[in-house]
Amino acid sequence: MLERFRQFWTGFFSPVADGLLRLGVSPDAVTLVGTAGVCVGSLGFYPRGQLFLGTVVVTLFVFSDLVDGHMARVSGASSKWGAWLDSTLDRIGDGAIFGGLVLWFGGGGDDPVLAAVALYCLVMGSVTSYARARAESLGMQAKGGIAERADRLVAVLVMTGLSDLFNLPLLLTVTLWALAVANTITVFQRAMLVRRQALALDPPDHR
């Protein structure tokens, strides 16, 4: 759903991307710095309960995903290596965000149940991405579902920041539970999509 805003934000950050290209910065470098920033923001602040500050830092670096993509297209540097690096580092960034929340709830946040829910969101988010990647490696498609990466990322960042800013932890609690359910449904949706394609390509032998 939130992918529709990608074009707007890409245009918004295009002057930054163009400026970096003029300075000789490569798209891969932006990808690496962006992921490092997300990891520092989430693992450096979330475990200490500084959820709003951590979210501000993470959000600033999350937009590097749009900047590096624009840089690669404009410079003609798009490559399979760049696509693989970007997707792989996205998994690291997502893991750091939810991992930071797991550490908070398992430590100072003192909520083992929410720590487990955040961990479940981390795992199922990775499974969602893997389901699509594996399907594509087999010549099929598994894109879609009610909780794609952009939706999950925006939801958890916005509600994590607001829950701390307004001292309303219920916002984050509801969001994590909702993401846990949505991730589960999305994995099931992608599994059913792949199953239909697989049966069409290789129908079962009833002999």
The pLDDT of residue 54: 97
pLDDT for residue 151: 86
Confidence (pLDDT) at 107: 96
| Superfamily covering domain 2-201 | CDP-alcohol phosphotransferase transmembrane (TM) domain (1.20.120.1760)
Joined tokens for residue 99: 């991992």
Domain boundaries, the chain: 2-201
pLDDT at 8: 57
Sequence-ordered list of residues with C-beta below 8 angstroms from that of 45, at least 6 positions apart, any chain: 51, 53, 54, 57, 100
Alpha-carbon distances of 3 from 15, 49, 186, rounded to whole Å: 21, 30, 16
Rounded CA-CA distance 171/60 in Å is 22
Nearest-angstrom CA–CA distance, 67 and 29: 11
pLDDT score for 10: 59
Q: Which of 144, 157, 150, 134 is nearest to 186 (CA)?
A: 144
Cβ-contact 43, 92 below 8 angstroms = no
pLDDT tens by residue, 148-206:
888 899 999 999 999 999 999 999 999 999 999 999 999 999 999 999 999 998 876 65
What is the per-residue pLDDT for 177? 98
Radius of gyration of the chain (CA): 19
111 part of the active site: no
Length of the chain: 207
The active-site residue, picked from 28, 86, 90, 94, is: 90
Collapsed DSSP state (helix, strand, coil) of residue 11: helix
Identify the pLDDT of residue 203. Answer: 72
| Sites in the chain below the pLDDT cut of 70 | 1-13, 204-207
What is the model's pTM?
0.89
